């Protein structure tokens, strides 16, 4: 089957969890005999084509106005950013680039992922060419220009008034999609409840595949218990709450922090935790950090759709302490513990209990590893192949 994947980013560009999932899916399906093409964006320059691990990748420049952050004043930035997002709600120039690839490659099915830079106009052109369309929901892009639905320190419970202008064309264009997939039930239901994809004949949950190391880290946890944080150092990730919760616990435990972010923000966090047993690692290979901790903490304030960092930890038998947000409880299953980030005491209570009873952590290692196996690539490939055949 000739399948065109559409994704905002793809290697060798800097990519996150969702884009890694697209890469794993594309290369895996190519190895299973499908003809896979990917069209992705690049900031400027001429269109180029590369073959990466059996996948033909088309890199096309984003055809929109100048990026707003090049503007000279804050007013100019705000105006250009609004225009940029407006065009990105329905961009006919990017739709033409997609149509050219479809016609060149004689594509039989279109599978879209993150559409920032392309816009939902890609659905219209695919529908007009009478091609079946599958869309996988990785984030809140269709509901919110920032893709987070997080504002003023809180998660949005509905689409904001000023976001509706951008969201409406996306909702209308979703009528062209035949099948919608969510990487968690949370993100799928969020869209269906807001009347997106109302004409889709199928909707289902398929978790992101994970292709990293899989091995059991069965060990007896002893004091001091080693907790770890891995990810972007940013306020929405809840790292500050974790450091504050660590106060009073540091003499019986250690916190390892891996990740990068704004230098000023990191300096402020280091000042808050200056008297605590915290080791700042900066950018670090995830496996290096995971080999040196007993529990991974994911304290995110935002509704993460399906945090890949949880999958990374589970795959090597590391249980996870996660905030009760978005799709993270679904990914975690019974392989760890959940806390309410709106209640600081709930995090402190669990940290204290685990420090006092490290055997509880040891008993979770097997469950963590078993849960990690649930995200095997073969299972995900089979689910998508079954879905494609149904179309």
SS3 per-residue string spanning 261-294: ECHHHHHHHHHHCCCCCEEEEECCCHHHHHCCCC
End-to-end CA distance of the chain: 12
Instruction: Say if residues 138 and 94 touch (Cβ distance below 8 Å).
Output: no
Which residues pair with residue 112 across a beta bridge?
A: 6, 135
> Is residue 194 located within the same domain as residue 279?
no
pLDDT of residue 53: 94
Task: Give the chain's domain count.
Answer: 2
Question: What values do phi and psi take at 22, rounded to 5?
Answer: -65, -40
SS3 state of residue 122: helix
Looking at the domain assignment, is residue 216 inside a domain? no
Mean pLDDT of the chain: 92
> Is residue 30 located within the same domain as residue 153?
yes
> Is residue 237 located within the same domain as residue 310?
yes
- Rounded Cα distance between 276 and 270, Å, is 9
pLDDT of residue 69: 42
pTM of the model: 0.92
pLDDT range class, residue 155, cuts 50, 70, 90: very high
Looking at the domain assignment, is residue 214 inside a domain? no
pLDDT range class, residue 385, cuts 50, 70, 90: very high
> Is residue 29 located within the same domain as residue 154?
yes
Out of 65-69, 83-87, 362-366, which region has the weakest mean confidence (pLDDT)?
65-69
> Is residue 131 located within the same domain as residue 21?
yes
Given a cut of 80, whether residue 336 has pLDDT beyond it is: yes
> Is residue 145 located within the same domain as residue 283?
no
Instruction: Say if residues 9 and 116 touch (Cβ distance below 8 Å).
Output: no
Domain range holding 256? 225-373
Looking at the domain assignment, is residue 380 inside a domain? yes
> Is residue 168 located within the same domain as residue 202?
yes
* Beta strand segments in 149-238, E: 150-151, 154-155, 179-182, 202-205, 225-230
> Is residue 23 located within the same domain as residue 80?
yes
pLDDT range class, residue 75, cuts 50, 70, 90: low
Tokens of 358: 């490290």
Looking at the domain assignment, is residue 215 inside a domain? no
Looking at the domain assignment, is residue 219 inside a domain? no
> Is residue 292 located within the same domain as residue 383?
no
Looking at the domain assignment, is residue 220 inside a domain? no
Looking at the domain assignment, is residue 156 inside a domain? yes
> Is residue 108 located within the same domain as residue 231?
no
pLDDT in tens, 183-214: 999 999 999 999 999 999 999 999 999 887 77
Given a cut of 50, whether residue 293 has pLDDT beyond it is: yes
pLDDT of residue 248: 75
Kindly tell me the sign of the dihedral angle through the C-alpha atoms of 95, 100, 101, 105. Answer: positive
> Is residue 144 located within the same domain as residue 259?
no
CATH number of the domain residue 24 falls in:
3.40.50.2000
pLDDT range class, residue 68, cuts 50, 70, 90: very low
> Is residue 144 located within the same domain as residue 27?
yes
Looking at the domain assignment, is residue 217 inside a domain? no
């Amino acid at each position: 089957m000739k399948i065109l994947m559409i994704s905002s980013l793809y290697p060798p560009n800097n990519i996150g969890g969702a884009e890694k999932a697209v890469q794993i899916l594309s290369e895996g399906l190519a190895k299973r005999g499908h003809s896979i093409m990917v069209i992705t964006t690049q900031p400027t320059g001429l269109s180029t084509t590369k073959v990466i691990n059996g996948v033909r990748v088309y890199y096309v420049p984003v055809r929109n106005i100048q990026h707003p952050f090049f503007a000279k004043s804050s007013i100019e930035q705000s105006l250009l950013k609004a225009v940029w997002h407006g065009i990105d709600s329905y961009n006919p120039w990017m739709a033409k680039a997609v149509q050219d690839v479809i016609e060149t490659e004689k594509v039989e099915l279109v599978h879209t992922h993150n559409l920032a830079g392309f816009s939902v106009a890609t659905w219209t052109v695919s529908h007009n060419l009478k091609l079946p369309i599958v869309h996988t929901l990785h984030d809140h892009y269709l509901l919110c220009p920032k893709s987070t639905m997080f504002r003023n320190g809180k998660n949005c419970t509905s689409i904001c008034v000023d976001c509706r202008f951008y969201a409406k064309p996306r909702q209308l264009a979703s009528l062209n999609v035949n099948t919608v997939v969510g990487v968690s039930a949370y993100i799928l239901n969020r869209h269906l409840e807001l009347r997106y994809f109302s004409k889709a004949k199928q909707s289902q949950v398929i978790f992101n595949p994970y292709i990293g190391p899989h091995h059991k880290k069965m060990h007896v946890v002893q004091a001091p218990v080693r907790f770890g944080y891995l990810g972007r150092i940013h306020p929405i990730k809840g790292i500050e709450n974790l450091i504050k919760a660590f106060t009073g616990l540091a003499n019986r435990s250690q916190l390892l922090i891996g990740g990068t972010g704004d230098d000023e923000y990191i300096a402020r966090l280091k000042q808050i935790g200056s008297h605590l047993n915290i080791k700042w690692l900066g950018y670090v290979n995830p496996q290096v950090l995971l080999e040196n901790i007993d529990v991974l903490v994911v304290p995110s304030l935002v509704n993460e759709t399906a945090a890949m960092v949880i999958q990374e930890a589970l795959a090597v038998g590391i249980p996870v302490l996660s905030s009760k947000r978005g799709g993270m409880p679904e990914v975690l299953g019974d392989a760890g513990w959940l806390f309410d980030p709106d209640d600081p005491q709930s995090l402190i209570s669990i940290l204290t209990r685990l420090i006092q009873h490290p055997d509880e952590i040891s008993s979770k290692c097997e469950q963590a590893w078993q849960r990690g196996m649930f995200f095997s690539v073969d299972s995900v490939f089979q689910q998508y192949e079954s879905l494609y055949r149904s179309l």
